Structure 1
Amino acid sequence: MIATGIGSLPIHGAEDEYAEAVRVVLGELPDLPHVPELPGRGATASMTGRTLAVVTGLDADLQPAGWRLTGSSGSPGMDHRRARSQLAQDLDTVEELTQGYEGAFKVQVTGPWTLAATVERPRGDRILADHGARRELAQALADGVREHIRDVRRRLSGVDRLVVQLDEPALPAVLTGKVPTASGFGRHRSVAPPEASETLGWVLGAIADEGAEPWVHSCAPNTPLGLLRGAGAHGLAVDLGVLGAADHDALAEALEAGETVALGVVPSVDPAQAPTDKDVVERVQRWLDMLGLDPEEVGGRLVVTPTCGLAGATSGWARRALALSRSGAAALSGR
């Protein structure tokens, strides 16, 4: 077993805070480090702003209510340009600090449904409200992800396994009609599972076509894991604490099919009582025993992670959570 992080980390106020975040990830997660995200730096570094920096062919700007598309005129707003510049600078830092690195690496982007539930149309209200707009956004995201993967591969030439994680925390709300309208007085219509699967498939397929490994992460309850697998996800990243009975079965099926499961077992915010390495190991072992899975058979496809992103943790706990994930995975593997 190996360990990785979900993506986000807290800021700590240092002048070189992004470089320090990269060093933490490289030091604590040597088997599967990732491009860190620091949403505490502001909207351009949020999961939405970060992903709009990847999307191609669509411009956006930042409004008081959040991000809004402005069309495809080739004239992005100031904040959109800043988001793109910040991502490029962050990747420069990752490239510099990974000189000579060889092995696996992970990057994260927001999935098409969470993006559609978060970003507004040019005329207001969420993209989710417009079938054509959400289709256009997903296809632009798929194209952008292709270019992003190529850029990362150019920068990290020693990486032989590139994982691309789609973050889809809003997907359960999208499917059940629980995303609020701009006014807050109504809810957007639910999206049918076939459309949800098809749209996810465009982005997951683009990742696979580029030779990368497509994962989907959601730490929200009631995430449809079977739908994600059917759409083309080869890895599922979840919070063990929010899973229902059917979810456990879906994860077992994924492991038995040779796919990856990233199991969130380490608290993502500072706990009242910190778990020990033994606690982490026992929690994973109990889960495997419950499902009747042999650790030796599935261990190579099981990844230990924090339960979600670490942006809400203190800097000290964020580092400790990554260290616990790594040491827990090592103990489970007998290393």
Structure 2
Amino acid sequence: MIATALGSFAGTGMAATIRAVLGVFPDRAPLPELPDRGPHASMFARTMCLLEDLPFDRQPAGWRLSLGPSILARRARRTLLDDIDVLAENIDDWPGRLTITTMGPWTLSACVDLPRGGRSIGDPGARRDICQAWGAALDTHLAWVRRVIGAPVAVQIDEPCLGQVLTGVIPDESGRHSLPPVEEPEVRDALGAAIAQAKAAGGDIVVVHCCDDELPLGVILDSGADAPSIDTAVLRGSSWDRLAQWCQQGRQAWLGVVPTHQMEAGSAFMTRQREEVCSRLELDEQEREALVLTPACGLAGVERSVAWRSLAELAKVARG
């Protein structure tokens, strides 16, 4: 059993954060995200800046597709490329496998408005364009990352809004009403196409992360992902049974066993969480080896010293 983190951290120093994450996680580690550096360093901007045919900007009301390139988009792309260069300078002797995190196409669609107003998620043509542009952009991006670091990479597709898309709770532009849900077959098929594109682009494994309270576990497992990345605290009833079937087939699962608000709980708590999850899933020793322990979500809101101390404890708990 191994442990890893899910991408975002507090602070603004990329070189120091990269060295820390590679030091704590010898098996698998993400290219960090540091949203404290500003909107251009957010998960949304770091993904959207790769979609060259869909320029965007940030307005007082939030993210919006634009009619031409923006300074923020150019800054986001430059920052991301600089971060990859910093990673390449620090990864030479590291023995593990890197994870590239990217916001998934459904959450992108849920977070960005159309140029003349209205949510992209509410426009079938717009969300189709975003899904298609996402796949093409990821292909180019992964090729670049693999060339710079000289090694295969995993892909983590972050879809925190997936449950909201399916249940129809995303507000419209006015905020007074909710947009209709997107039908499950459309969501599943588009997510499956995104996963297939990530694999074709060179992702050695593709993981779908969702920490939504209304976790659509079935959609994730049926989409072709190599592993779900989930907050175990939101699993209910039949979801435990479905996940158990998945894990008992020897398939990988990334399990968020430490809530971000309990990162100071300590190794004894983490060990209990690990054992409780394995017991609920009825896993034998061999099946446990396919598990990856993680925090429930990103750690951008967790004080740095707390986060790194807790991540080191989580790595030890996973090993033994």
TM-score between the two structures when normalised by the length of structure 1: 0.91
| AA partner of residue 158 (structure 2) | D
Moved more, 206-215 or 18-27: 206-215
Per the alignment, residue 66 of structure 2 pairs with: 70
Q: Deviations over 1:203-262 (max 9, x none)?
A: 111111123111110111221111112111111111111111222122222222332211
Instruction: Output the CA distance in 1 between the equivalents of 2:266 and 2:70.
Output: 47
Instruction: Output the CA distance in 2 between the equivalents of 1:136 and 1:62.
Output: 20
Per the alignment, residue 266 of structure 2 pairs with: 276
Tell me if the contact between 1:62 and 1:80 (Cα under 8 Å) persists in the aligned partners: no
Q: Deviations over 1:244-303 (max 9, x none)?
A: 1222122222222332211111232465xx323232122211221222211x22122100
Is it true that 1:312 corresponds to 2:305 in the alignment?
no
**Which of residues 220, 223, 234 in structure 2 aligns to 1:228?**
220
RMSD over aligned CA atoms reads 1.5
Instruction: Output the CA distance in 1 between the equivalents of 2:242 and 2:145.
Output: 31
Q: How far off is 1:94 after superposition?
A: 0.7
Tell me if the contact between 1:7 and 1:108 (Cα under 8 Å) persists in the aligned partners: yes
Instruction: Output the CA distance in 1 between the equivalents of 2:70 and 2:213.
Output: 35
Q: Secondary structure at the match of 2:260?
A: coil
Per the alignment, residue 60 of structure 1 pairs with: 56
Per the alignment, residue 172 of structure 1 pairs with: 163
Is it true that 1:263 corresponds to 2:255 in the alignment?
yes
Per the alignment, residue 244 of structure 2 pairs with: 252
Instruction: Output the CA distance in 2 between the equivalents of 1:170 and 1:200.
Output: 13
Instruction: Output the CA distance in 2 between the equivalents of 1:54 and 1:154.
Output: 17
Q: Secondary structure at the match of 1:117?
A: helix
Instruction: Output the CA distance in 2 between the equivalents of 1:107 and 1:308.
Output: 15
Tell me if the contact between 1:235 and 1:260 (Cα under 8 Å) persists in the aligned partners: yes
Written as runs of structure 1 = structure 2, the 5 A alignment for 1:14-93 is 17-71=13-67, 75-93=68-86
Per the alignment, residue 100 of structure 1 pairs with: 93
Instruction: Output the CA distance in 2 between the equivalents of 1:80 and 1:127.
Output: 18
Per the alignment, residue 184 of structure 1 pairs with: 175
Tell me if the contact between 2:27 and 2:95 (Cα under 8 Å) persists in the aligned partners: no
Instruction: Output the CA distance in 2 between the equivalents of 1:57 and 1:284.
Output: 44
| AA partner of residue 313 (structure 2) | L
Written as runs of structure 1 = structure 2, the 5 A alignment for 1:70-219 is 70-71=66-67, 75-157=68-150, 159-160=151-152, 162-212=153-203, 213-219=205-211
Q: Deviations over 1:86-108 (max 9, x none)?
A: 11111111111112334311111
Tell me if the contact between 2:26 and 2:94 (Cα under 8 Å) persists in the aligned partners: no
Instruction: Output the CA distance in 2 between the equivalents of 1:323 and 1:228.
Output: 29
TM-score between the two structures when normalised by the length of structure 2: 0.95
Tell me if the contact between 2:22 and 2:94 (Cα under 8 Å) persists in the aligned partners: no
Q: Deviations over 1:69-117 (max 9, x none)?
A: 125xxx4111111111111111111111112334311111111111111
Identity score, percent: 38
Moved more, 239-248 or 33-42: 239-248
Instruction: Output the CA distance in 1 between the equivalents of 2:30 and 2:117.
Output: 34
Moved more, 321-330 or 81-90: 321-330
Q: Which runs of 5+ in 1 are unaligned?
A: none
Instruction: Output the CA distance in 1 between the equivalents of 2:31 and 2:90.
Output: 11
Moved more, 20-29 or 317-326: 317-326
Moved more, 244-253 or 108-117: 244-253
Q: Secondary structure at the match of 1:311?
A: coil
| AA partner of residue 155 (structure 2) | V
Q: Which runs of 5+ in 2 are unaligned?
A: none
Instruction: Output the CA distance in 2 between the equivalents of 1:129 and 1:106.
Output: 31
Following TM superposition, the consecutive aligned residue runs of length 4 or more in structure 1 with deviations greater than 4 angstroms are: none
Q: Secondary structure at the match of 2:112?
A: coil
CA 1:142–1:252 in 2, change beyond 3 Å: closer, same or farther? same
Tell me if the contact between 2:5 and 2:294 (Cα under 8 Å) persists in the aligned partners: yes
Instruction: Output the CA distance in 2 between the equivalents of 1:253 and 1:149.
Output: 32
Tell me if the contact between 2:215 and 2:234 (Cα under 8 Å) persists in the aligned partners: no
Per the alignment, residue 7 of structure 1 pairs with: 7
Per the alignment, residue 290 of structure 1 pairs with: 280
Instruction: Output the CA distance in 2 between the equivalents of 1:259 and 1:149.
Output: 24
